[in-house]
């Protein structure tokens, strides 16, 4: 495979990088404490306080530890696991340094989280215009100036760049030139498609679909029948097609808060009593963006003691519907689906972006009071 992107046709002339820090929180902690290097450790909550693993070192991953796993379960899998409480200010500082490095190459940066971002380097003249050389430069700069490693994928679109960044982790670079897209995507396992989780993958496997090449056998209509609106996107990605631009001003679609409790909540009264503190937290966070967004839906999340979970949401079609009472009603209805003890509650809102051009047009045509939380 060539190590440099080309511009072989008008539809393939973009150069997109996806930069993803390797075990980000753990890498920062390892930078601060070199004795952690090569050890099985994780960043997360304490097992005795029903904590959850945020991320873990590669040594811990070999023992079966994974992000979002309950800490007590992680310790069972890896008894020597050391769990470190998160230090978010430290991680934010490292993230800012990474993004300062990205800015040296392009202003077209789409941050996905603290530790990953898309960069559109199309037309950039640095490094002889080579996306590969830019990726190598970025990897060196992050290593030398931030003290951690990143993996980078380079490709003509966002879908393939994200797949590529995960190909040679950790501290790896993988390039998918336009000339190689057809063969690469044809053999790509469907599990590598962003958005295909265990349930969707199992559904595909049951239909004899294991690779993108096999996925191409079906029409958009068939895929939409099986996988809903995601079907059309699957049809495109199975062919390596992704026209999405790198969006420098990504906007929120939702806002939520959640809390894991030290002791299980056993009845309706205990659950209802937790709604107001969660809502106060949500309201505080929403106050910082309420001039830019309106609320379209309210939703709740209930995770039970056996780690099964359920969610419930409703469109906000009445401006006078009290937020606290509405959330309490949704929470009880969600809990009543099983009546099991509860370990985690969450609540949130789906948002309308008031700055979107189509929203301004809608407000002109259908003026109404803007709903809050």
pLDDT in tens, the chain (373 residues): 334 443 333 344 899 999 999 999 999 999 999 999 999 999 999 888 778 999 999 999 999 999 989 999 999 999 999 999 999 999 999 999 999 999 999 999 999 888 999 999 999 999 999 999 999 999 999 999 999 999 999 999 999 999 999 999 999 999 999 999 999 999 999 999 988 988 899 999 999 999 999 999 999 999 999 988 888 899 999 999 999 999 887 677 889 999 889 899 999 999 999 999 999 999 988 887 888 888 889 999 999 988 888 999 998 866 667 899 999 999 999 999 999 999 999 999 999 877 665 444 343 333 445 566 7
- Amino acid 320: pLDDT: 62
Active-site annotation holder among 12, 30, 110, 116: 116
Rounded to whole angstroms, the Cα distance separating 26 from 249 reads 28
> Do 292 and 341 sit in the same domain of this protein?
yes
Is 115 known to sit in a ligand binding site?
yes
Which pair of tokens denotes residue 53?
């693993």
Task: Give the separation between CA 302 and CA 271, rounded to whole angstroms.
Answer: 10
- The residue from 151, 179, 207 where one domain ends is 179
If asked whether residues 98 and 193 sit together in one domain, one would say no
Per-residue confidence (pLDDT) for residue 122, from 0 to 100: 95
Of 160, 179, 198, which residue is a domain's last?
Answer: 179
> In a 10 Å sphere around its CB, with 0-12 CB exposed, 13-18 middle and 19+ buried, how is residue 272 labelled?
middle
| Annotated binding-site residue? 144 | no
73-78 — which CB contacts under 8 Å span 24+ positions? 74/42, 74/44, 74/47, 75/47, 78/40
Same domain, 317 and 335: yes
Q: Is 116 a catalytic residue?
A: yes
Q: How many domains does the chain have?
A: 4
Indicate the burial class of 310 (C-beta count within 10 angstroms; 0-12, 13-18, 19 or more): middle
Same domain, 51 and 175: no
Does residue 371 form part of some domain? no
Same-domain pairing of 175 and 101 = yes
Between CA 52 and CA 48 the distance in angstroms is 11
Q: Is residue 77 part of a domain?
A: yes
pTM of the model as a whole? 0.70
The CATH code of the domain that includes 352 is 3.30.1490.100
Residues 218 and 326 occupy one common structural domain: no
Indicate whether 133 and 267 sit together in one domain: no
Helices within the chain (DSSP H only) = 24-32, 58-62, 71-77, 88-102, 131-145, 158-165, 181-186, 198-206, 212-215, 220-227, 230-237, 268-273, 275-287, 323-335, 357-365
145 lies in which domain range? 10-23+89-179
Please check whether residue 153 lies inside any domain of the structure: yes
């Amino acid at each position: 495979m060539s190590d440099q992107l080309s511009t072989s046709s008008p539809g393939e002339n973009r150069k997109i990088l996806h930069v993803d820090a390797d075990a980000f929180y753990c890498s920062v902690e390892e930078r601060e404490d070199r004795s952690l290097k090569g050890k099985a450790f994780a960043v997360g909550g304490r097992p005795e306080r029903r904590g959850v693993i945020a991320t873990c070192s590669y040594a811990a991953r070999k023992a079966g530890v994974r992000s979002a796993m309950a800490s007590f379960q992680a310790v069972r899998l890896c008894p020597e696991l050391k769990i470190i409480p998160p230090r978010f200010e430290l991680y934010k500082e490292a993230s800012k340094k990474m993004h300062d490095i990205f800015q040296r190459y392009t202003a077209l940066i789409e941050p996905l989280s603290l530790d990953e971002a898309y960069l559109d380097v199309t037309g950039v003249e640095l490094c002889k215009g080579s996306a590969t050389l830019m990726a190598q430069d970025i990897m060196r700069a992050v290593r030398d100036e931030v003290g951690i490693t990143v993996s980078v994928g380079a490709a003509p679109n966002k879908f393939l760049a994200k797949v590529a960044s995960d190909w040679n982790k950790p501290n790896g670079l993988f390039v998918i030139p336009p000339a190689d897209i057809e063969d690469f995507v044809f053999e790509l396992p469907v599990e590598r498609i962003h958005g295909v989780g265990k349930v969707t993958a199992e559904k595909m496997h049951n239909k004899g679909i294991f690779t993108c090449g096999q996925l191409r056998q079906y029409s958009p209509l068939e895929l939409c029948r099986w996988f809903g609106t995601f079907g059309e996107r699957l049809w495109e990605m199975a062919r390596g097609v992704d026209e999405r631009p790198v969006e420098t001003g990504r906007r929120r679609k939702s806002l939520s808060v959640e809390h894991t409790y030290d002791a299980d909540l056993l009845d309706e009264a205990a659950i209802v009593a937790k709604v107001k503190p969660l809502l106060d937290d949500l309201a505080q966070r929403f106050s910082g963006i309420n001039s830019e967004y309106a609320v379209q839906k309210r939703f709740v999340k209930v995770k039970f003691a056996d780690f099964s979970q359920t969610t419930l949401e409703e469109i906000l079609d009445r401006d006078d519907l009290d937020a606290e009472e509405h959330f309490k009603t949704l929470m009880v209805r969600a809990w009543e689906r099983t009546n099991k003890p509860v370990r985690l509650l969450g609540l949130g809102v789906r948002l309308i972006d008031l700055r979107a051009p189509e929203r301004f047009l809608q407000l002109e045509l259908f003026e109404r009071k803007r709903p809050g939380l």
